[in-house]
Amino acid sequence: MSSPGTVALVDYGAGNLRSVENALREVGARVLVTRDPAAVARADRVVVPGQGSMPECAAAMQKSGVAESLVLAISLGRPVLGICVGLQLLFEDGEEAGGARGLGILPGRIEKLPSSVKLPHIGWSPVRLVGERPALFAPLDGQYLYFAHSYAAPADAAGAALLATHGRPYCAALARENLFATQFHPEKSQRAGLALLERFVHV
């Protein structure tokens, strides 16, 4: 099990920073809350939290320069975790606000969940494991996790590791080498979520 080192928690002006910071500290991480691109680039791990809209969050990260540092951290093999909107903005674009540009790190489009179900989807949903069964997410198979969203990546998104269903199946978590992301909120998912964060800070 590797040392957590420094975990850069990206502050881009939106997002549930305090609860994510507290959860990371609870599992032993040394957390640096920052919007400094240089600090993000040199951190041992990076967490991109998410509350708000995909277009606003992506634009804020581009404007601050943090987006470029995030791409650099991924290319250097540093473990990166996106949470909720932090997953969505990894993709090329999305439907929110009439059309939103993402960071383009992953191919694909973020789409609104069906209007036949209550939106936003807020509450607990079960997830199921798919794909290559990455060690980070494998223990979550069949667990109920906490979601708060109206948009989601498709079930066949690149690296999809967990699926959930609300009107349609969608990507609840993904893993591609050192890049991980969750549509659910691990910091609000009680014991299962804290265990996930603990695995991440030691991956």
Q: Catalytic residue numbers?
A: 84, 185, 187
Whole-angstrom Cα distance, residue 69 to residue 104? Answer: 14
CA angle 88-89-94, nearest 5°?
A: 70
The tokens describing 167, both together, are: 């009107």
The beta strand positions in 35-190, using DSSP E, are 45-48, 80-83, 91-94, 100-101, 106-112, 121-126, 128-129, 144-149, 151-152, 160-165, 169-176, 179-182
What backbone phi and psi angles, to 5 degrees, belong to 71? Answer: -60, -40
The tokens describing 197, both together, are: 């964060």
Nearest residue to 160 (alpha-carbon basis) of 63, 90, 100, 98: 90
* DSSP category for residue 154: B
The tokens describing 79, both together, are: 């473990």
What is the distance between the terminal CA atoms of the chain, rounded to a whole angstrom?
A: 7
